[in-house]
Amino acid sequence: MKVSVIGAGDVGATTAYALVMRGVCREIVLVDLNKERARAEADDILHAVPFTHPVRISAGDYADIRGSRVVIITAGAAQKPGETRLELLARNASIFRSIVPQVIEYARDSIILVATNPVDVLTHLTADIADKYGIHRSRVIGSGTTLDTARFRALLGEHLGIDPQHVHGYVLGEHGDSEFIPWSLITVGGVPLDEFCRQWDICTDDAVKAMIEQQVRDAAYAIINGKGSTYYGIGSALSRIVEVILRDQRALLTVCTPIRELSGISNVTVSLPHLVGGQGILDTILLPLNLDETEETKLRASAEVVKQAYESMYAA
């Protein structure tokens, strides 16, 4: 099975490497404006293949993405230190208007997986373009808060002394400053978090929750300040989403896709738990009914941030 990655920068190359390590596909094609970089990354990753899984990896042009089951878009400008994801929008929207039609021309049957920031708005833009070509929106997936959810589960798991795989909770909303954690929905071993912490005598009061939430929200800024960009977490998240698609695993992931109506806001793209499988987004868990009042207000506020950014992109 073939996967293509458009944008062979830090995120694209790390994603390709993570795909090789995970061993979920047989062929990877890297496409980048900077052909030399794409070729160098493909060669470097190829040298890891004898130690891992048999995968063909090469650099190419759009014509070479033909037959891909998934096309991952990581191309675009990266966040500069101090820059918000939404400030990146104007630069990356115009890049997407040139990339997405070419992806559709050469790999019409693929699932398009978007990672470039601001990922919510660019996923919506990609779905709009796909619509024009008669491709169903469910075949466009944004990585959304998949990475933030992983960061959150890692931090909470560490605080509780429990493998994060057994901590069930999500980060919802924008992949950005307005994202939030719906604490009322978190369970550990099937037990609501607060009840679990009472039983095990672990302090997870409001101050601890606020600290964890802040660390999740600021993680990208802290990493970018320290080393220029983030790529291991997102590369692993994208390779996991690809695995779910290629193996039709019907996993619940906090990816993003345009939602017809959310808490009174129409046609907006934010992350909620979505059922993902071989055909893309299969269904959405519409959470507002399960959230408490404060959480619903946060979800609505986050959706408003993304909606405004989306509208500003069309107004520009």
List the x/- string, 222-241, binding to ligand NAD by CB under 6 A: -------xxx--x-------
Does residue number 89 form part of the binding site for ligand NAD (CB under 6 A)? no
Does 119 interact with ligand NAD (rule: CB under 6 A)?
yes
User: Counting contacts by CB under 6 A, is residue 169 touching ligand NAD?
Assistant: no
Instruction: Please work out the total of residues on this chain that contact ligand NAD, with binding judged by CB under 6 A.
Output: 31
Q: How far is the CB of 227 from ligand NAD (least distance, A)?
A: 11
Q: Which residue has the tokens 């795989």?
A: 165
Window 139-168: residues binding ligand NAD (CB under 6 A): 143, 147
Cβ at position 188, least distance to ligand NAD in Å: 25
Q: How far is the CB of 304 from ligand NAD (least distance, A)?
A: 20
Catalytic residue among 124, 159, 175, 274: 175
Sheet holding 167-168, edge to edge: 167-168, 187-188, 191-192
Residue 30 Cβ, how far from ligand NAD at the closest point, in Å? 10
Q: Which amino acid is at 67?
A: G
Site for ligand NAD in 99-118 (CB under 6 A): 99, 115-117
Instruction: Kindly state whether residue 39 participates in binding ligand NAD, applying the rule CB under 6 A.
Output: no
Say whether residue 73 binds ligand NAD (CB under 6 A).
no
Do the beta carbons of residue 143 and residue 241 sit within 8 Å? Answer: yes
Rounded least distance, CB 119 to ligand NAD, Å: 4
| Catalytic residue check, 175 | yes
Closest residue to ligand NAD, judged by C-beta, is: 9
Regarding 12 and contact with ligand NAD (CB under 6 A), the answer is yes
Would you say 59 or 167 has its CB closer to ligand NAD?
59
147 and 237 in contact (C-beta within 8 Å)? yes
Which of the residues are catalytic? 175
Residues that bind ligand NAD (CB under 6 A): 6-12, 32-34, 37, 74-76, 78-79, 92, 95, 98-99, 115-117, 119, 143, 147, 175, 229-231, 234
